[in-house]
Amino acid sequence: MPEARDQLLERIVAEVAANGLADRSLREVAEAIGSSHRMLLYHFGSRAGLVSAIVEATEAGQRLLLAELAAQVDDPADLVRALWARTCAPEMLPFVRLFFECVAVTGGKGLTDPWIELANELRQGFGLAPDEDELRLGVAVTRGLLIDVLATGDAGPATRSLERFLEMWESSQPSQPSQSSQPRAR
């Protein structure tokens, strides 16, 4: 059954990314994907369970993307830029909107720590010490700027603000050995 649940969840995520979740009932969502509310209850238990599954699926996909992008860059700021560019792409914005909609419904519990854990691992791969406070700030800044993109429909100002944040962040970092003298763990 996990495969059936995953396939169902994939269809649900695509549907609610395109048409929103807000006040839609399980029946409405089920009808939109050609299923029944009973099937959704069977797999997810409740509307809250469905919303949690949607958030988990979209967040897991973004963290996987972050890990993939980390293998393609040589510097943490470039990693943030690459993830930002992918996240702000027009085809991704419905999923960003869905994420924030689900956060509003669930209260957002448990959505930051997995990012901090992964980011700490990636920092170490860049030869940097873990820093939970710094990473939490980075997650908060990024999420705030994503809200700005959704509110204005224009990624330009938020991207410039992200660049300013990265400049401040990079200037606060201790000098690092050159990339050539320190092999990067990938």
User: What tens digit of pLDDT does each residue of 55-101 get?
Assistant: 888 888 888 999 999 999 999 999 999 999 999 999 888 888 888 88
For 168, what's the count of Cα atoms within 13 Å in the CB-facing half-sphere? 10
If one counts the domains in the chain, the total is: 1
User: What tens digit of pLDDT does each residue of 108-122 get?
Assistant: 777 888 889 999 999
* Assigned domain for 131 exists: yes
8 Å CB contact between 154 and 106: no
At how many degrees (to 10) do helices 37-44 and 47-70 cross?
60
* Assigned domain for 98 exists: yes
* Assigned domain for 160 exists: yes
Look up residue 5 and give its two tokens.
Answer: 């649940």
Structural domain including 70 reads 55-172
8 Å CB contact between 30 and 37: yes
8 Å CB contact between 125 and 108: no
DSSP 93-110: HHHHHHHHHHHHHH--TT
* Assigned domain for 138 exists: yes
* Assigned domain for 31 exists: no
DSSP 48-84: HHHHHHHHHHHHHHHHHHHHHHHTT-SSHHHHHHHHH
Q: pTM for the complete prediction?
A: 0.78
* Assigned domain for 13 exists: no
138 band by pLDDT with thresholds 50, 70 and 90: very high
* Assigned domain for 75 exists: yes
3-state secondary structure of 121: helix
* Assigned domain for 186 exists: no
d(CA 116, CA 97): 21
Is 60 exceeded by the pLDDT of residue 182? Answer: no
User: What tens digit of pLDDT does each residue of 7-59 get?
Assistant: 999 999 999 888 888 778 899 999 999 999 999 999 999 988 898 898 888 88
